[in-house]
Chain A
Amino acid sequence: MSDSTINAPASLAAMPSKRTIDVVNAGLAKRYRAEKRFRIYGVTAIILSLCFLTLLFVDIISKGYTAFWQTKVRIDVHLDPEVLQGENLQTADYPGLVKKSIRNLFPDVQGRKDRRLLNGIVSSGAAFQIRDLVTANPDRIGSTVQLWVPADDDVDMLMKGHMPRDVPEDERRLNDKQLAWIDQLQREGRLQKTFNRILFTVGDSREPELAGIMGAVMGSVYTLLITLVLSFPIGVATAVYLEEFAPKNPWTDLVEVNINNLAAVPSIVFGLLGLAVFLNFFGLPRSAPLVGGLVLTLMTLPTIIIASRAALKAVPPSVREAALGIGASKTQMVTHHVLPLALPGMLTGTIIGMAQALGETAPLLMIGMVAFIVDIPGGFTDPSTVLPVQIYLWADSPERAFVEKTSAAIMVLLAFLMTMNALAVFLRKRFERRW
Chain B
Amino acid sequence: MKKLVVIGIALIALVGFTSALQAQSARDYISIVGSSTVYPFATVVAEQFGKTSGFKTPTIESTGSGGGLKLFCAGVGVEHPDITNASRRIKKSEFDTCQQNGVKDIIEVKIGYDGIVMANSKKSAPMKLTRKDIFMALAKDVPDPSGAEKLVPNPYKTWKDVNPDLPDKKIVVLGPPPTSGTRDAFVELAMEGGAKKFDYVKNLDKKMFKATAHTIREDGAYVEAGENDNLIVQKLEKDPDALGIFGFSFLDQNADKIQGSFVDGVAPTFDAIAAGDYPVSRPLYFYVKGAHVGSIPGIDAYLKEFTAEKAWGEDGYLSDKGLIPMPDEERKKFASDARSLNPLMLQ
Which A residues contact B (CB, under 8 angstroms)? 90-91, 116, 120, 124, 128, 163-164, 167, 170-173, 205-207, 225-226, 229-230, 233, 279, 283-288, 290, 368, 370-375, 379-381, 383, 395-400, 403
Contact = CB atoms under 8 A, between A and B. Distances in A.
B308 interface: no
B19 A381 contact: yes
B59 A372 contact: yes
B192 to A, nearest CB: 26
Contacts of A120: 320
B9 interface: yes
A380 B52 CA distance: 26
A395 B19 contact: no
A206 B62 CA distance: 14
B20 A288 contact: yes
Nearest to A128: B51
Given A370-B62, A380-B15, A398-B250, A285 B230 contact: no
A398 B20 contact: no
Contact of A173 (B13, B253, B317): B253
A322 to B, nearest CB: 23
Contacts of B79: 279, 283, 285-286
B297 interface: no
B57 A284 contact: no
B321 interface: yes
A398 B253 contact: yes
Contacts, number: 126
Interface stretch (B22-30, B134-142, B336-344): B22-30
B224 interface: no
Interface string B35-60: 00001101110111011101011011
B225 to A, nearest CB: 13
Contacts of A170: 255
Q: Main secondary structure on chain B at its contact with chain A?
A: helix
A286 B31 CA distance: 9
A398 B230 contact: yes
A407 to B, nearest CB: 12
Interface string B6-17: 000100110111
Contacts of A206: 40, 43-44, 47, 321
Nearest to A163: B256
Contact of B227 (A163, A233, A286, A396): A396
Contact of A371 (B50, B59, B252, B254): B59
Q: Which of A375, A396, A403 has the most CB of B within 10 A?
A: A396
Given A167-B256, A284-B24, A380-B19, A229 B54 contact: no
Contacts of A400: 253-254
Contacts of A372: 39, 42-43, 46-47, 59-62
Given A173-B253, A395-B230, A90 B9 contact: no
A379 B21 CA distance: 13
B253 A368 contact: no
Contacts of B57: 373-375
